Chains A and B, each alone.
Chain A
Amino acid sequence: MSLSIIESCVNCWACMPVCPSDAIYEAAPHFKIDAAKCTECDGDFAQPQCASICPIEGAILNSLGEEINPPGSLTGIPPEKMEAAMAEIQAR
């Protein structure tokens, strides 16, 4: 039972102080979660704290490896809109 942080993390530090289990640590190339310490906030909070403050969609996965904040859920940008904009920029 542990969440994990993946490479899209931008190292913004927001998650580290809100973790009730001290499970998050600074590492290269990005912050990581100590699987032995992570409780997914069970018993402390209704929602996992790191995933509740993380600004980057897809950067934190649950124990099944699924994105807790899927594309569009935080920015409000519909994923197809983002793809179209990025494709247009690439084409320039």
Chain B
Amino acid sequence: MELTVLGNDSVEKPAEGGCSAGSCGSTDDQVNHLPDHIREKVENHPCYSEKAHHYFARMHVAVAPACNIQCHYCNRKYDCANESRPGVVSELLTPTQAVKKTMAVAANIPQMTVLGIAGPGDPLANPERTFETFRELSEKAPDIKLCVSTNGLALPDAVEELAKHNIDHVTITINCVDPEVGAKIYPWIFWNNRRIKGVKAAKILIEQQQKGLEMLVERGILVKVNSVLIPGVNDEHLKEVSRIVKEKGAFLHNVMPLIAEAEHGTFYGVMGQRGPSNEELSELQDACAGDMNMMRHCRQCRADAVGMLGEDRGEEFTLDKIETMEIDYEEAMVKRAKVHAEIAKTLAADDSDESAPAMAVAPETRPVLMAVATSGSGVINQHFGHAKEFLIYEASPEGVRFIGHRKADQYCIGDDTCGEKESSLTTTIRTLQGCETVLCSKIGYEPWDQLEAAGIQPNGEHAMEPIEEAVAAVYVEMAESGKLEASNEAAAA
């Protein structure tokens, strides 16, 4: 499948660092299982549809600085350009600046379909700034979808206003449904003019989140639930969270790994709480998947991110730069509509040739994880050393399925002035733990040896081939050479 060339050359850049692969997960796109009326709402939303995220871009505007709760994974003090955590921003915007920035991005990145307000505090703890931004945008740029994400504390009071502004996507971060668990995640909330701590605070927050979820679902507003997986705190508990939010009508559950480093100055970072391993995250996502649609392509972006998921083009749209841009939005909308129609055509064509090839292996062959280096277009076309992230696929007798992405340089691209210095090769190899093969266009001698020593087979034989076909071919080869006998678990251990 070919990626259609979109727009004109001056604005179109390949999504370097982003996942613009053509077909990751075509055998397991969660959107295909949704009722038509929901599918229509999410098919061009990169955060809600795995397929859409290869084609459509999103942006966040940082208009909401205040927060009404404290989470143990958040520190309100930091703005580091090398960090990509949610809750971190470089430039706080007024609603007027945010509207200007949004229209500038929409005109220059026509595949940007979604504007979200996600912080850096809680959007609904800043209702005036948040809703003024939405109000102006829905008038001036009606072709942009608006969405918001919240911790839920102020959600019930905001539902009417959200409905009024045609916000049809809301994300609630729900890390627990048990106040005892909540007390280990949230040290305090600000509620009814008081700072409340401990189990009592968690109980109020949970009640507000659940009430808000129910109210949104009643009004037909789509709800995605985000949960941060915190090993030893809420890992087992998230299965219950998943079950309950699905029962109440959330359409997608996104379990994200805790990001905690001492240098972030967060409670979890300083206290040495670890994040989950890739395996733990995958296992929990699988365990919850029995209950509902799971999201696996989230890149946990900043509250001022711009571009395709996984890339950040915020630098191109700083306040001083947008100040000099002349935007004719009428003209931009015509171009945007054209670009969106082209993408829709590509997506429809992709849908029609969606038949997972049966694997020519014995049914008891064990599954294998493989990492893929790609810079887009759905083919293996990236040098191992240039990959900023790897797409992870699972091959099994049932076929090839997209599992998620893993960053080669996790969360921080700073040099040795910023935290622990580890050779990036060592980091990357650790990131690929659990994978038995890594497919790339080329690879140097040194990484080849080190990967082999770590039990990961480098493979450059499938350069420029479509990802899923190559993964399937390698899997069949592995099976034929006897590496995947049911009893042979050595490589997986």
Contact = CB atoms under 8 A, between A and B. Distances in A.
Contacts of B128: 17
A81 to B, nearest CB: 6
Contact of A85 (B190, B262, B421): B262
A77 B193 CA distance: 24
Contacts of A1: none
B77 interface: yes
A73 to B, nearest CB: 9
Contacts of A92: 416, 419-421
Nearest to B421: A92
A46 B192 CA distance: 11
A76 B65 contact: no
Nearest to B66: A14
A35 B121 CA distance: 27
B262 A88 contact: yes
Interface in B169-218: 187-188, 190, 193-195
B76 A89 contact: no
Interface in B38-77: 65-68, 70, 72, 76-77
Given A12-B121, A55-B70, A77 B270 contact: yes
B271 interface: yes
B267 interface: yes
B262 A12 contact: no
B190 A81 contact: no
Nearest to A49: B193
B67 A12 contact: yes
Contact of B187 (A74, A86, A88): A74
B263 interface: yes
A75 B283 CA distance: 31
A12 B267 contact: no
A17 B121 CA distance: 14
B126 interface: yes
A56 interface: yes
Interface in A40-92: 45-47, 49, 52-53, 55-56, 74-77, 81-82, 85-86, 88-89, 92
B265 to A, nearest CB: 8
B146 interface: no
Contacts, number: 75
Contact of B194 (A46, A75, A86): A46
A45 B267 CA distance: 29
Contacts of A17: 66, 128
B125 interface: yes
Interface string A8-30: 00111110011000000000000
Q: For this complex, into which size category does the number of interface residues on chain B fall?
A: 20 to 34
Range of interface residues on chain A?
Answer: 20 to 34
B425 to A, nearest CB: 20
A55 B70 CA distance: 7
Contacts of B190: 14, 18, 52-53
Contact of A53 (B65, B92, B195): B195
A50 to B, nearest CB: 11
Contacts of B68: 14, 53
B65 A12 contact: yes
Interface in B384-434: 416, 419-421
Contact of B267 (A46, A55, A77): A77
Nearest to B126: A13
B65 A13 contact: yes
Contacts of A82: 265, 270
Contacts of B267: 75-77
A47 B195 contact: yes
Contacts of B262: 85, 88-89
B194 A52 contact: yes
Central interface residue in A47, A77, A81, by most chain B CB within 10 Å: A77
Contacts of B76: 10, 12, 55-56
A22 to B, nearest CB: 15
A76 B64 CA distance: 25
Given A52-B193, A74-B70, A14 B121 contact: yes
Interface of A: 10-14, 17-18, 45-47, 49, 52-53, 55-56, 74-77, 81-82, 85-86, 88-89, 92
Given A14-B125, A76-B72, A77-B267, 13 more contacts: A10-B76, A10-B77, A12-B65, A13-B65, A13-B126, A14-B65, A47-B193, A52-B190, A75-B187, A75-B266, A76-B267, A82-B270, A89-B263
15 contacts: A10-B77, A12-B121, A14-B65, A14-B190, A47-B194, A52-B193, A52-B194, A74-B70, A75-B187, A76-B187, A77-B267, A82-B270, A85-B270, A89-B419, A92-B420
In the A-B complex, the 7 residue pairs with the closest CB atoms: A14-B66, A52-B195, A53-B190, A85-B270, A85-B262, A12-B65, A13-B66
